[in-house]
Structure 1
Amino acid sequence: MKAWRKQETGFTLLEVLAAVTILSVVSLSLTAFFVHAMSYAKGNQNKTVAVHLARNALFFLEKTSFDAFNGYLGQHRILSTEGCQAIEAPDGPSQVVCADDAERTELFKATPYLWEALRPVVNGRSYAAEVTRLPPAGGDADADKEKLEKFLIPIRIRIESEGAAGGKRNSAEVEGYLTNERIR
């Protein structure tokens, strides 16, 4: 019976502690990897929402009055909601008043739901869009550019999440054209 006990082997307390320590270090490094992966996935989700909202604003603007936007963007080059306030209507478009900019106020009045397209709220998070008129693309001659400007306005829509830290994951840009009703 004594011979059998001498052959009995097992782990010592020191070996068990070393194994637990190594396992803990590996687990902590994997946990950091998963936390980073979840953060990256959430950022991608925010970016996807911003891209969809920018496209939605572009599609909305493509269906609006060409002449109204051509006139406003021809003078100002940028359309934003900064400095404007909306009076929410429960069953219709908001009434928008822009301080010190009567032309922009008139544009919001003439285009129902423009405020909602440029200031969407998704899942309780507010976004703000800015529309910028781009230089005309096309031929080198000024005559060609003037002809294009009668029918196409190249624009860029930049949308950002309000209250979120800046960065590429909380904003998006989309470029497109506003087309004249005569060629739609």
Structure 2
Amino acid sequence: MKSLKKEQGFTLIEILAALLILSITALAFTAYFSNALTFAKANQNKTIMSNLARNALVYMQKQDFDRLEAYFNSDSATVVRNASGTREQRVGITPETFASCTTSSGGTCAFRDMFENGNLQPVMAVLRPEVNGIGYRVVIEYQKDLSRTAAAGGALLLPISATVTAAAEGAAGPGADAVTVEGYVNAQSIR
């Protein structure tokens, strides 16, 4: 009978110690999942930005090669990067390049016909896209230093890059500084 009366169980101290160990372990897992979520969000932002850059390159590859080349080599081309050291200034197309064009008058606006029918709405949609409520800014840059000689096929290719950034600082979240994708615009004769 004595063995039936003797009941054993956990004391309050043992239960509190077990809860303390369990909560420390849960806290470590929470920090891990929080970091994993931040990393996943950063990768999502970079994926969106690289897709927007590829989209801009594909759009530019469908434009008139000769007019693009004339624009990039003209004095009216928008400077997207100033000269520094041994590098010369870079020209390209920004969302602001054709923003003030209402007619094909002069300067930069004279080149609006390089886009289909001189319609600037599609190019503005490519250069100022919005995804998931976040605005982005795309800059097309002519990479003249990558141009090859005519004998090496350089007369048939225009090296360009598309750089995507968030329109507002930090709007795209962590890890979304800038994404650059490079490509070429082919001449109509080899398309």
Fold match (TM-score > 0.5): yes
Using the TM superposition, give the Cα deviation of residue 168 of structure 1 relative to its aligned residue in structure 2, in angstroms.
4.7
Q: Distance in 2 between matches of 1:105 and 1:21?
A: 70
Q: Which runs of 5+ in 2 are unaligned?
A: 78-90
* 1:103 correspondence with 2:107: yes
| Cα contact 1:108–1:114 (8 A) shared by 2 | no
Q: Deviation digits for residues 35-87 of structure 1, max 9, x if unmatched?
A: 111111111111111111111110110010112211222244222124764xx
| Cα contact 1:136–1:149 (8 A) shared by 2 | no
2:73 is paired with a residue of what secondary structure? helix
What TM-score do you get using the length of structure 2 for normalisation? Answer: 0.75
| Cα contact 1:129–1:157 (8 A) shared by 2 | yes
- Matching residue of 1:9: 8
Look up the equivalent residue of 1:179 and give its one-letter code. N
* 1:67 correspondence with 2:66: yes
The root-mean-square deviation of aligned C-alpha atoms, in Å, is 2.5
* 1:136 correspondence with 2:136: no
What TM-score do you get using the length of structure 1 for normalisation? Answer: 0.78
- Matching residue of 1:155: 160
Q: Report the CA distance shift for 1:151/1:83 in structure 2 as closer, same or farther (over 3 A).
A: closer
| Cα contact 1:79–1:132 (8 A) shared by 2 | yes
Q: Which runs of 5+ in 1 are unaligned?
A: 86-95, 139-144
Q: Distance in 2 between matches of 1:161 and 1:54?
A: 12
- Matching residue of 2:127: 118
How many residues get paired?
Answer: 165
Look up the equivalent residue of 1:9 and give its one-letter code. Q
1:9 is paired with a residue of what secondary structure? coil
